[in-house]
Chains A and B, each alone.
Chain A
Amino acid sequence: MAAWRALHRRFAPTIRPAAFVWSARWSSNAASAAAKNIDLSKFPVSLIRNFSIIAHIDHGKSTLADRLLELTGTIQKGKGQPQYLDKLQVERERGITVKAQTATMFYDLKNEDDGSSEQYLLNLIDTPGHVDFSYEVSRSLAACQGVLLVVDATQGIQAQTVANFYLAFEANLTIIPVINKIDQATADPERVKAQLKTMFDLEPEDALLTSAKTGQGLSEVLPAVIKRIPPPTGRCHLPLRMLILDSYFDEYRGVICNGAVVDGSIKKGDRIASVATGQTYDVLDTGILHPELTSTGMLQTGQVGYLIAGLKATQEARVGDTMHHANVSVEALPGFKPAKHMVFAGIYPADGSDFEALAQAMERLTCNDASVSATKETSAALGIGFRCGFLGLLHMDVFHQRLEQEFGAQVIATAPTVPYIFEFQDGSKLNVQNPALLPSQPAQKIVSAMEPVVVATIITPSEHVGALITLCSDRRGEQLEFSYIDSQRALLKYRLPLREVVVDFYSVLKSITSGYASFDYDDDGYQEADLVKVDVLLNGQAVDALSTIVHQAKSVRTGREIVDKLKKVLDRQMFEVTIQAAVGSKVIARESISALRKNVLAKCYGGDVTRKRKLLDKQKEGKKRMKRFGSVDIPQEAFHDLLKQ
């Protein structure tokens, strides 16, 4: 993973002592910027290149980025990783990039004819690879004119390669294929070249062959960037238009925005305004990310850097927003695309009473991740919590994990759900982000139910095609495409209901194919579906946190699964407990737990009092962690077990 990406990231500094060290380093760097004498005015648009690296997970994107930074002296080789690394634990554990990052490099390109050289300013805009974060990818690409499409020489094209290629292709960017990891024994660059030709019509001779590990081929990369990727298209004489790419909150300096100056220029002291909100700000500082914040006092057309302008919250700095000089009206840049929440879940404190702590943790985390929505909600079963919207399942997992890791908040997340739209006979519509809020027996007849769908791309070794087709049709998928990308690999495209994907699709796919298939998906709007709400009842009382919306055809299976699971995790109570799953008033699955017959300490004499007390105290603690539902006690662990994926 790239060290430099972490450089700009500052999460929850108050709980990280390292933040103080950081802050000191930052200010000294900002101060030394003048010492470095970076004069951005030396770089007209023709000497600037903005590019991004896109790749399937683990294909070596981050390592390649590291090497390029070392090659240009932006970071020192072998130095910095551990002490600079302030990266999210979740990113380290999962090997994923969650937030887009930017770095500015300077590179001297030699003219081979006369031996002279010219210095270029290169902005590398890193992107998260995962589909959930594709809106971050598109926003990064909006500031680029070209990309390095990195493909692992041993694995070939994978699902995310395809998705990312099309994002770049549709944005009309120059695409430079880079076949990486050629030092590996199983590397087969020729096969990859052939795939690139078949899949993307990229010419074999255009591919660069590299090994970020050994350094082989790396010297070719930046010259190719300069020669093949066109300079930014903006014009310096036009009024300022700066595209906001990202923002984060720093404890000491407030909101820091990253952005690209598309037209005109910006300098310290300017009065600027947001097109989206109309609010005006004073530019307190601006500069480049080299890779740390390096104040230059100004940014010109085509340059990418940071902006500090006294914004109070990251919510004010909308990604894709256009900043302009306060008294000059401009047309907004295309690119403003609000985060689209595909997956919703309730998040509750594990210990029902600890709502305040959770609320604080949520506030701090959402301050840094504006792509999560959070609204307060109340569940009879789980108490007060939040209904959160996420970009996708991974995003939800990452958020959940960060909540626990960075804030120590123990939480229970309800099963993820997707946003449904129900239309009633009287023409009213209901957006359902929490199944519990859909009436089980609505007064008005439901005339239509819409569910979100995605187009999924799967690339798989051909021997697994049969199993995957079965899986997709079981998940109510509609086949859109089935082709071979070479003699051993097939590409499948399906339209699938999002709900079928968020549950456990990815893990099933991985296990069917022993991990060899890759998968990616893209939002594809809504489709009408025969949806029903499945309620779960304990002794006749519905447990709101467990209700779910599913396709009619799957309701019995789903109901049966929940009922069986519940039976396993519930303790016997002092009376018989009936567990039912129901659609409306119709019971579709039923189980019962017979009453507890005996829980008694046979004897208790003088010497036993303390021991028995301890035993009962322990039972008491167990009871205290239970949620009382009607007359039924549900242990907290049961919700954990029930709701974990």
Chain B
Amino acid sequence: PTAAYVHLPFCKRRCHYCDFPIVALGESSSNAGSTMESYVDLVCQEIAAERSPSRGALQTVFFGGGTPSLIPIPLLQRIIQALEAKHGFSRDAPMEISMEMDPGTFSRDYLTEAIQSCGINRVSLGVQAFDDDLLKLCGRSHCLDDVFQSIEWIKDSLQNWSLDLISSLPHHTLASWRKSLEQAIAASPAHVSIYDLQIEQGTKFGNLYKPGMDPLPSDDDSAEFFKLGSSMLREAGYDHYEISNYARKGFQCRHNLVYWKNQGYYAYGLGSTSFVDGKRVKRSKRMREYAKFVEALAAGSPVLPESLEGSRTEAVLPESVEDRILDTVMLALRLAEGIDLRRFEAEFGSELAGILCDGLAEFVASGNVVFLDASRECTAERAGAVYGRLTDPNGFLVSNEIISRLFCLV
């Protein structure tokens, strides 16, 4: 793999929609520093003990969270160093080192340091909403002023940054959502991610709200939000390159593309999932068990699923061909590029490729799927089709329907 994900789970507090593996530090935790330090120790240990070192150097690194911008610069530096020492950083292609940052958690100096001494060259800013009431309702630890402040600092130092928004929040109306989009566009980021709010069990939102029920917008409204986002951002010059991601030319997130192209990636840290040598390994969400896992790994004990029993680190068996087929279909159809039919045929055979094409063709008449030729022009002829993709926004909106239908066939 040439991509590495590092999970930095610390947050000031848990947001009301979040079911991610995070560690809430509280607003003024006295020993937060040492907690973070021992965690980074573990992560560096895990990186050092990696069994399948990269054959080529890393090309992308992604610090996700949690709130990575809470990690002190020296600790961040250590992780970067550990990664470079283990895998090397690519010199052929420019490195992409992304970091998620939350408004209100970092200073201008912190940002400068991160860029200059850690090599961070892409920032994903968790704005989520342009509305103080909504931010409060979501349990975010920042306010709208923090958002504008952060945007200003980032724009002063970086071009490659993403603005992350959540749609279909409680009380969202088409008008308030339009306003959020206008403000996002006005901030002029290189990249925009829009996540449709998912109500997860066990979260505060999960206890308070039912999907599609007041005060959450209805499914039909959510669909309108998605369409509005798609049309406004495309008008503003963004390419809707993945179901929930938009980018100006040249600013697609290379790290995330690795996921969607079903390529391998390393992962380090609590609750993270790696995909190396055809195996997906999910680390425990519990700190103690994750620590045991790292310990076993560092001690050189064979890290087989059996030896990890009880550690809640799920080791997934090597993916079967069927898994690979389904993962490929599921992930590729998230992309505007669509599924590369010739590559699919080369990998899985012409019979299956034929079935896939037939399955996709069922959705052409309704305008949810289009076939594209080698020059990415729409083609009605199956014979000349090189790509099959979901249309934007209608096909994307019902992607689960289409993908699960295709699952039935292949």
Binding site for B on A (CB under 8 A): 574-575, 596-607, 609-610, 612-613, 615-617, 619-620, 622-624
B273 at interface by CB-CB < 8 Å: yes
Most central of A600, A616, A623 by chain B CB within 10 Å: A600
* Residues A602 and B198 in contact, CB atoms below 8 Å apart: yes
Give B371-410 as 1s and 0s: 1 = Cβ < 8 Å from A's Cβ atoms: 0000000000000000000000000111111011101100
CA distance A620 to B410 in the complex (A): 11
* Residues B331 and A604 in contact, CB atoms below 8 Å apart: yes
Binding site for A on B (CB under 8 A): 5, 64, 193-198, 219-220, 222-223, 226, 243-244, 256, 258-260, 265, 267, 271-275, 280, 282, 316, 323, 326-327, 330-331, 334, 363, 366, 368, 396-401, 403-405, 407-408
Question: Smallest CB-CB separation from A619: which chain B residue?
Answer: B404
CA distance A95 to B243 in the complex (A): 60
CA distance A610 to B219 in the complex (A): 25
A599's partner among B194, B220, B260, B401 (CB-CB below 8 A) is B401
CA distance A603 to B265 in the complex (A): 18
Residues of B within 8 A of A610 (CB): 273, 280, 282, 316
Question: Smallest CB-CB separation from B390: which chain A residue?
Answer: A600
* Residues B244 and A602 in contact, CB atoms below 8 Å apart: yes
Residues of A within 8 A of B408 (CB): 620, 623-624
Can you list 8 A-B pairs, Cβ within 8 angstroms, ordered by A?
A598-B226, A600-B396, A600-B397, A601-B400, A609-B327, A613-B326, A616-B400, A619-B407
* Residues A599 and B273 in contact, CB atoms below 8 Å apart: no
* Residues A597 and B273 in contact, CB atoms below 8 Å apart: no
Tell me the smallest distance from the CB of B65 to a CB of chain A, in Å: 12
Residues of A within 8 A of B396 (CB): 600
* Residues A598 and B331 in contact, CB atoms below 8 Å apart: no
CA distance A603 to B244 in the complex (A): 6
CA distance A615 to B401 in the complex (A): 11
B265's partner among A597, A606, A622 (CB-CB below 8 A) is A606
Residues of A within 8 A of B193 (CB): 603
Q: Known contacts A598-B223, A600-B226; is A606 also within 8 Å of B267 by CB?
A: yes
CA distance A600 to B240 in the complex (A): 15
* Residues B280 and A600 in contact, CB atoms below 8 Å apart: no
CA distance A603 to B64 in the complex (A): 14
What are the 9 closest A-B residue pairs judged by CB atoms, nearest first? A619-B404, A602-B196, A597-B223, A620-B407, A598-B223, A599-B400, A607-B273, A620-B404, A602-B195
* Residues B256 and A605 in contact, CB atoms below 8 Å apart: yes
Q: Known contacts A609-B280, A616-B407; is A600 also within 8 Å of B366 by CB?
A: no
Question: Smallest CB-CB separation from A617: which chain B residue?
Answer: B407
Residues of A within 8 A of B401 (CB): 574, 596, 599, 619
Residues of A within 8 A of B334 (CB): 604
Most central of B219, B220, B323, B400 by chain A CB within 10 Å: B400
* Residues B397 and A606 in contact, CB atoms below 8 Å apart: no
* Residues B223 and A605 in contact, CB atoms below 8 Å apart: no
* Residues B265 and A600 in contact, CB atoms below 8 Å apart: no
Question: Smallest CB-CB separation from A604: which chain B residue?
Answer: B334
CA distance A596 to B397 in the complex (A): 9
Question: Smallest CB-CB separation from B20: which chain A residue?
Answer: A607
Tell me the smallest distance from the CB of B126 to a CB of chain A, in Å: 13
CA distance A596 to B326 in the complex (A): 23
CA distance A609 to B259 in the complex (A): 8
